[in-house]
Every structure is written in structure tokens, then in C-alpha cells.
């Protein structure tokens, strides 16, 4: 897992943060994260349930809602598909 400043870190289904610092030159963890829900800044060593969303890509709406954010637009996964309400992936438009 490699990250850059501006990427988003999603931990589980309820924590979303922005990467504000990457101390290691190769982009490896730990990362300095500003949690979007409360603005707390912490150094984080992500676990196997965490994922990095590159800057410019949106976090899925259900993850934003779980993190206490207001969702904007449709959720788009990194694979270029969106998740329909029935759970079936559809091609992104």
C-alpha cells in the first residue's frame, strides 16, 4: 500500500481521512492522516482492512455517510463501476 499527500485513507466502513503527510520517501506507511469526521490529525499504520483512494477519486457514498460526511454524487469504485442499489455493479457513465 503506497499513498501520496491528498489521497484518502478508508479504514473499515466508518473512518475516512485525507493523507496530509507521508514521512517515508517511498510512500510506504505510516501516514499522517486528518480524519474528515472530526478533524483530528494522527499518524496511522493502516491494517489489511484499510485502502487508499487516489486523490481525485470519490469515496463511495455509503462510506462518506458512515464517516459522518454528506455524500455528493453517485458512488464510484476505483474499477470505474458504480454500485446499484440492488448490489449489481454497473458501468460508470
Task: Name which residue leads in pLDDT, 77 or 48.
Answer: 48
- pLDDT tens for residues 73-93? 444 344 444 444 444 454 444
Task: Name which residue leads in pLDDT, 84 or 22.
Answer: 22
Of residues 67, 19, 65, 59, the one with CA closest to residue 42: 19
User: Which sequence spans correspond to the domains of the chain?
Assistant: 8-91
What CATH fold (topology level) applies to the domain 8-91? SH3 type barrels. (2.30.30)
SS3 content of the chain, % helix, strand, coil (to 5): 5, 30, 60
What percent of the chain lies above the pLDDT cut of 70? Answer: 63
Residue 56 confidence class, pLDDT cut points 50, 70, 90: confident
Amino acid at each position: 500500500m503506497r499513498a501520496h499527500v491528498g489521497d484518502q485513507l478508508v479504514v473499515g466502513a466508518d473512518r475516512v481521512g485525507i493523507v496530509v503527510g507521508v514521512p517515508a520517501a517511498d510512500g510506504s506507511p505510516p501516514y499522517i492522516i486528518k480524519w474528515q469526521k472530526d478533524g483530528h490529525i494522527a499518524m496511522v499504520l493502516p491494517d489489511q482492512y484499510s485502502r487508499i483512494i487516489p486523490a481525485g477519486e470519490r469515496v463511495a457514498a455509503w462510506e462518506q455517510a458512515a464517516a459522518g460526511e454528506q455524500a455528493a454524487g453517485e458512488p464510484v469504485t476505483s474499477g470505474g463501476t458504480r454500485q446499484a442499489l440492488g448490489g449489481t455493479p454497473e458501468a460508470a457513465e
